[in-house]
């Protein structure tokens, strides 16, 4: 197999080849590391490349294959980790100069689970400062670029992971999602990105375990790869109260077992808080809906007057930065991202009453979405209102243009479909819907009932069968 084809082989196929002794984990790791060396100067998607460690892990994986021992579902498969998540012995910089020398002592529980599944950790991918925005850049590491067009962003804050997977620099990446940070980059880069149900995948490091709105999830080129990785990550830990429910969130509803979607009800949401949707995004979304309808699903536009709580969501988001970043200001202000500083300044203006009312609004939104699921089996909407923004876009102040019309800052004009489901906790998956007029990928988001992550993945896989996307590759360096 040529290296170019190997780099775009699915994780599940690669793992099967390794189990069958038709692919060497060492050769696979070397091919990926060589590709990273070629692409890193152009894309800047890695903070740390763990070449020596990865090759040593790949050698152990190969020895295990030859010894005939039991192998995990990702045995020998290279995976990278967003630089908000700890890998033992490697820096976790959180995208900021503040933590340049912060070397992790232990693996995060999710990294430990990936290792137990046989994955080979090859590096840490870029994130904006503390994962603060929907683009991936910052004063501590520069600009991460989209492999489909380096003058565009790969999205954020898991932009490094998305750019790397899209460019063939490992088939899987672990991202995190606090306001769309897995789904947005997936849409920008033509990938599959899952934000699971709250608690399905533990998030042990969140500062507010009970009010959590941050999730970890896979970035992949295929739905099957995302599903396998999600299954590896799923399960309770003692440190995450939301993971303590005990139910198996990997179950599949019987109605989704086959290809016949007759009777399945899709609620189509054309706009959330955004005033406009680009014509090409809209066309690709409708084509995807028609594909599901062709399998028997009923599609109905949601006309309910839903308060998507953009303002209240902003209060929760910016007040969080104002509080937890405050201790860093005296020493680090001049080396912090201006976007972080702007969010902190705005967040500090909100009162306790503002914050509590925003928390109450989160509950109202959850109940509104729950009411929709009394009528619909899934909700479908675009992931973004337009294709990827230019690099250098100021996420704190610039207005997003959609078909030439200014539509507000990013959370109003571009990512408004994403953050509501961080607040409600429902599983949300972005999958490719096609390409825009500018040649960049567009995405469609599927939102499911609480706990029905596998249903969302299965429903998306049926679109993948009828409108496949993994055959498309961006041009290499």
Domain ranges of the chain: 3-466
Determine the angle formed by the axes of helices 223-233 and 453-466, rounding to 10 degrees.
160
Report the chain's C-alpha Rg in angstroms.
21
Q: Which is more confidently placed, 344 or 249?
A: 344
Please give the positions annotated as active site: 82, 157, 181
pLDDT band (50, 70, 90) for residue 3: confident
Residue 1, pLDDT score: 63
3-466: which CATH topology? Amidase signature (AS) enzymes (3.90.1300)
Q: Provide the sign of the torsion angle of the four alpha carbons 121, 74, 223, 169, taken in this order.
A: positive
Residue 251, pLDDT score: 83
> What are the pLDDT digits (tens) for 103-151?
999 999 999 999 999 999 999 999 999 999 999 999 999 999 999 999 9
The backbone torsions φ and ψ at residue 266, rounded to the nearest 5 degrees and listed phi first, read -105, 125
Tell me which DSSP letter residue 146 carries.
B
**Does residue 6 surpass a pLDDT of 90?**
yes
Q: Per DSSP, what are the bridge partners of residue 48?
A: 124
**Does residue 247 surpass a pLDDT of 80?**
no
Tell me which DSSP letter residue 273 carries.
S
* CB < 8 Å & 24+ apart, contacts of 26-29: 26/55, 26/58, 26/59, 26/62, 28/58, 28/76, 28/77, 28/78, 29/54, 29/55, 29/57, 29/58, 29/78, 29/120, 29/122
> What are the pLDDT digits (tens) for 175-231?
999 999 999 999 999 999 999 999 999 999 999 999 999 999 999 999 999 999 999
Burial class, 38, CB count within 10 angstroms (exposed 0-12 / middle 13-18 / buried 19+): middle
**Does residue 4 surpass a pLDDT of 90?**
no
Against a cut of 0.95, is the pTM above it?
Answer: yes
8 A C-beta contact, residue 233 and residue 113:
yes
8 A C-beta contact, residue 23 and residue 10:
no
Residue 188, pLDDT score: 98
Residue 320, pLDDT score: 97
Could you give the 3-state DSSP secondary structure of residue 32?
Answer: helix
**pLDDT more than 90, % of the chain:** 97
pLDDT band (50, 70, 90) for residue 314: very high
Distance (Å, rounded) from C-alpha 225 to C-alpha 171? 8
């Amino acid at each position: 197999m040529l290296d170019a084809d190997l780099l775009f082989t699915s994780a599940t196929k690669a793992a099967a080849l390794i189990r069958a002794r038709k692919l060497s984990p060492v050769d696979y790791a070397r091919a990926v590391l060589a590709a990273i060396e070629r692409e890193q100067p152009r894309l800047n998607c890695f903070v740390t490349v763990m070449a020596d460690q990865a090759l040593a892990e790949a050698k152990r994986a190969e020895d295990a294959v030859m010894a005939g021992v039991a192998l995990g579902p990702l045995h020998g498969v290279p995976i990278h980790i967003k630089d908000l998540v700890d890998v033992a012995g490697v820096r976790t910089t959180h995208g900021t100069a503040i933590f340049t020398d912060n070397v992790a002592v232990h693996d995060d529980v999710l990294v430990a689970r990936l290792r137990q599944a046989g994955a080979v950790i090859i590096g840490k991918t870029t994130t904006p400062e503390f994962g603060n925005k929907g683009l991936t850049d910052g004063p501590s590491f520069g600009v991460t670029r989209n492999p489909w067009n380096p003058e565009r962003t790969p999205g954020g804050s898991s932009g490094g992971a998305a750019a790397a997977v899209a460019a063939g620099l490992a088939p899987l990446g672990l991202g995190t999602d606090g306001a769309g940070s897995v789904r947005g980059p997936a849409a920008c880069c033509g990938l599959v990105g899952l934000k699971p149900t709250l608690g399905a995948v533990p998030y042990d490091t969140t500062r507010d375990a009970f009010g959590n709105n941050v999730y970890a999830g896979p970035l992949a080129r295929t739905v099957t790869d995302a599903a396998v990785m999600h299954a590896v990550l799923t399960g309770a830990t003692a440190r995450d109260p939301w993971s303590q429910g005990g139910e198996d969130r990997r179950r599949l509803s019987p109605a989704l077992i086959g290809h016949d979607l007759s009777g399945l009800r899709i609620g189509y949401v054309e706009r959330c808080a955004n005033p406009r949707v680009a014509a090409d995004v809209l066309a690709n979304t409708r084509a995807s809906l028609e594909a599901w309808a062709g399998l028997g699903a009923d599609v109905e536009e949601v006309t309910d007057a839903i308060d998507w709580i953009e303002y209240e969501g902003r209060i929760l988001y910016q007040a969080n930065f104002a509080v937890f970043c405050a201790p860093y200001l005296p020493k680090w202000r001049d080396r912090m991202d201006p976007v972080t500083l702007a969010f902190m300044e705005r967040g500090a203006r909100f009162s306790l009453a503002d914050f509590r009312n925003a928390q109450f609004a989160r509950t109202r939104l959850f109940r509104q979405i729950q009411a929709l699921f009394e009528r619909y089996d899934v909700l479908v909407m675009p992931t973004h209102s337009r294709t990827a923004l230019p690099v250098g876009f100021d996420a704190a102040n610039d207005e997003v243009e959609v078909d030439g019309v200014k539509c507000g800052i990013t959370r109003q004009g571009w990512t408004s479909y994403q953050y509501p489901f961080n607040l409600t906790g429902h599983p949300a998956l972005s999958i490719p819907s096609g390409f825009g007029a500018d040649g960049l990928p567009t995405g469609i988001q599927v939102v499911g009932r609480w706990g029905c992550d596998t249903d969302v993945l299965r429903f998306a896989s049926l679109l993948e069968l009828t409108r496949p996307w993994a055959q498309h590759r961006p041009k290499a360096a």
